[in-house]
Amino acid sequence: MTNLRPYEPGRDPLTGYVTRDGRKVRILATDMKKSNGTKIVGLVSCEQTEGIQSWHEDGSVIAGVKHDLDLMCAPELRTIWLNIYDLGAVYSYETKEKAHAGTRCGCIACIKVTFTEGEGL
């Protein structure tokens, strides 16, 4: 998957993470005691099954090496509002209310757009 953000602690442990190659992850613990330095343990989806995986505190499988199983932040679903103007200008807003408040002369549409972060890039 492209445009994934590196691991950040504190997200929803059941839905907030994926592997670098896009597989869903369920975090089970972030304080595992293990001699090789991994602290995070979770389940990685693979077709109809799940496999157990551990990660270092920074989300890496192997310290200092990029790997397909590295822990990444799952892309988030976002909604924005676009004010579109007759000369082609487009301005985005976080809410419909802010879009309406920001309307200027020449606005021809206010459109709600929902997308997944990184979609289309």
In tens, the pLDDT along 39-81 reads: 999 999 998 999 999 999 999 999 899 999 999 999 988 999 9
Which of 73, 88, 103 terminates a domain? The answer is: 73
* Within-domain flag for 121: no
Mean pLDDT estimate for the chain = 92
Structure tokens of 41?
Answer: 């343990």
- Is pLDDT at 4 greater than 90 in this prediction? no
* Within-domain flag for 41: yes
**Is there a contact between 39 and 28 (Cβ–Cβ < 8 Å)?**
no
CA dist 112 and 78 (Å) reads: 11
What percent of the chain has pLDDT above 90? 78
CA torsion through residues 34, 17, 11, 67, sign = positive
In this structure, the answer to whether residues 49 and 63 fall within a common structural domain is yes
Please tell me the total count of domains within the chain: 2
In this structure, the answer to whether residues 60 and 28 fall within a common structural domain is yes
6-29 pLDDT tens trace: 999 999 999 899 999 999 999 999
Residues 6+ apart with CB under 8 A from 78: 114, 115, 116, 117
In this structure, the answer to whether residues 62 and 108 fall within a common structural domain is no
Structure tokens of 3?
Answer: 């445009």
In this structure, the answer to whether residues 69 and 34 fall within a common structural domain is yes
> Stretch 85-103: mean pLDDT, rounded?
96
Q: 57, exposed or middle or buried, with CB in 10 Å at 0-12, 13-18, 19+?
A: middle
In this structure, the answer to whether residues 67 and 102 fall within a common structural domain is no
Q: Residue 2: its pLDDT value, please?
A: 58
- What are the start-end ranges of the E strands in 1-121? 5-6, 17-19, 24-29, 40-46, 49-55, 71-73, 77-85, 90-93, 107-116
In this structure, the answer to whether residues 89 and 40 fall within a common structural domain is no
* Within-domain flag for 44: yes
Residue 42, domain extent? 5-73
Q: Residue 35: its pLDDT value, please?
A: 66
pTM of structure:
0.70
* Within-domain flag for 68: yes
